[in-house]
Every structure is written in C-alpha cells, then in structure tokens.
Amino acid sequence: MRRIVPVFATGPIFATGLVFATGLVFATRTAPGSRTLRTARGGRPRETEEMLAMPFAEVPDGIRIYYEEHGTGEPVLLLMGTGADHTFWGPQIGPYSERYRTIVLDSRGTGRSSRPSDPTTCTAAALGRDALGVLDHLGIEQAHIGGLSLGSAVAQEIALASPERVLSLALHGTWGRSDEWFIRAIDTLEVPAEQGDIQRYMYWALMWVLSPRFLAEQPEAVADIVRTYLDENPYPPSREGIMGHTHADKLHDTLDRLPQIQARTLVTAGSMDWLVPPRYGEQVARAIPGARYHLFDDDFASHCACVEMADEWNRITLAFLAGKDIGVPLG
C-alpha cells in the first residue's frame, strides 16, 4: 500500500524560520515488491504500476487531475497559482489538516496532471471545472475554496458558476481584471517559457513572487528553490503548462461579475507583492458583497506570504475558516 509521507526539507531555511518554497517534500513509501517510479528520457516519468495507483480524477475535457487528501473534517480545497503544483501548499497542509479535510491538486499543466499541448484551452473557468470535477470524484458536494494568484481567479470562477458548492471563499494575491500593467508583468514570465528557457522563467518568477529581503538575505535558499522546483523535480514545469497558465492569467476578467458572488469571502494581499499589488485585491474586496480584506504588512509579505510568513498566514486564514471576522470591509 502506497502512502504519501510529509518530510520537511533539511536544507537552508527562510529568515522567518520556514522551509523553502516547495514547503513539504513528498517522499513515498511503497510496499515490498512494488515498482518504484522511473524517469523516462527528458525527465518525464513513465507510467508505472505505482503511478497508475496514484489518486487521479478524470474530469471533463479528457483531463486527468492528480490530487491528495490530508486530514478529516469539513472539506477545504486549495488551488495554487501559475506554474506551481500542489507541493507549494506544503506549509499549509500540516496545520490545515489538523482541523479540515484538506484537498490539494496539480492543476492542468502542472505536476502529475495532464498537460494539454494547446495553451489556449487553459482558462480560469476551465481550471474551475477541473477543480469541481475533483470534488465530484470525491463525492464532495460543498467545500471551502481557497486560491492563491491564478488559483484565486479559479476560485472566483467556481463561486460564480457553482455558488451552492462554496462554503466560504478565500482569495489571496487576487485580481478581478487583467489590465495592461498586469498583462505586461505576466509577459515577463511567458516570453522565456515560450522560448523554452524554463530557468530564465524561474529567474524572473522569483523576482516577482518573493520579497526583496528574502532574495537578498537567503541566496542559498533561493538556490534550493530552483534546484527543488526544476533540477530535482520528477514532474518539472513545462513550456506548454506555463503558457497555458499565463494565457489564463492574461484573459482573467470577472470584475463586473464579482457582485454576484454570494459566499462569505476573505481577500488577502501582501504589502510586498509585486506581481499582484494590493490595489488589485482591494478592488476585488470592494466588488464582492460583504467581503472582508486583510493586508499582510511585513518585509516578507510577498506574493508567497503563505510560505515566507506561513505562521501568520495560517493563523489568519484558519481563523477565517473557523468563522471569525478577519480583516475589514471595504465595500
């Protein structure tokens, strides 16, 4: 029987005391005699017996989505951002799973999930249908939905398309409409990916999503991120996957529909988030009836505040899930 066991990384840590950006490294234990995962030419894993036993959901459009469940209780579905797989929720999985049935997944184009060759098939709405397909696969009628960055755009689409399935909505590093500034920012990620230069994509991505202090003060940890995400990753990011996500980023536009959202909603932003500055989150919070807004204000309050200042991020978001009024109304 195969188990997924969280193993905290032992390499350099954040100044804030956290493991580096991938959070949890997922080691596997297999029963005696089982076949281990091997890597095909080009670093892509072969479909072994073990891989076939992994938890996948068959969702519409012929997409297979890899997912994991941790803990018991009310379901919480966490959706990660551009080019990132489920492991980036590492700092949340432990604390969340102590109280909730926590579900994380590799969105299409990342990790073990399907990677469509046509990037234009990837939109926030399509990713939302994928996520709902996972809930259907698990027999879950309602869940708390949380999303970071592109994952927050997906969460918006879920709340708009299927409001009856959303127990609460948490939108982190979010925006409601991709304006010219944002599209140009995303272009800095898309262009190197389109050229097949994933190392350069990663170089620019870390500038956007990490805080200046972390980049300046933790060079070894930054190198660990790159090594873990690219060099040692059996399911590394691909040109097609990244371009699908940047396509979804640039097309996202729910601003005029956000007043239709009925769910209890928390919007958070980071004072040091360069990729999705707080002004975007404020606009979303004002548009959603009854939404509350919380600003993480710290030197490490980056786009990846959930990693750089995970203790505070978890405290705030878990309090919201528990029913507390977090943040302030802006509407």
**pLDDT tens-digit readout, 151-205:** 999 999 999 999 999 999 999 999 999 999 999 999 999 999 999 999 999 999 9
**124 pLDDT tier (thresholds 50, 70, 90):** very high
**2 pLDDT tier (thresholds 50, 70, 90):** very low
Q: Is 64 helix (H, G, I), strand (E, B) or coil?
A: strand
pLDDT at 45 over 60: no
Question: Residue 13's closest CA among 327, 284, 321, 311?
Answer: 311
Q: What percent of the chain has pLDDT over 90?
A: 83
pLDDT, mean of residues 198-221? 96
Q: Are 55 and 35 in contact (CB under 8 A)?
A: no
Which pLDDT tens digit goes with each residue over 258-297? 999 999 999 999 999 999 999 999 999 999 999 999 999 9
**331 pLDDT tier (thresholds 50, 70, 90):** confident
More confident of the two residues 214 and 48: 214
**149 pLDDT tier (thresholds 50, 70, 90):** very high
Q: Are 250 and 150 in contact (CB under 8 A)?
A: no
Q: What residue ranges define each of the domains in the chain, with the CATH number in brackets?
A: 3-32+55-329 (3.40.50.1820)
Question: Residue 92's closest CA among 259, 252, 316?
Answer: 316
pLDDT of residue 53: 55
Of 19-28, 139-148, 268-277, the one with minimum mean pLDDT is 19-28
pLDDT of residue 29: 25
Q: In which region does residue 149 sit, left (phi positive, over 0), alpha (psi from -120 to 50) or beta (all else)?
A: left
pLDDT, mean of residues 245-263? 98
More confident of the two residues 27 and 221: 221
Stated pTM of the model: 0.86
- 243: number of CA atoms within 13 Å, CB side? 18
pLDDT, mean of residues 212-229? 94
46/36 Cα distance (integer angstroms): 10
pLDDT at 100 over 50: yes
pLDDT at 52 over 60: no
Give helix 180-194 / helix 198-209 axis angle, nearest 10°. 150
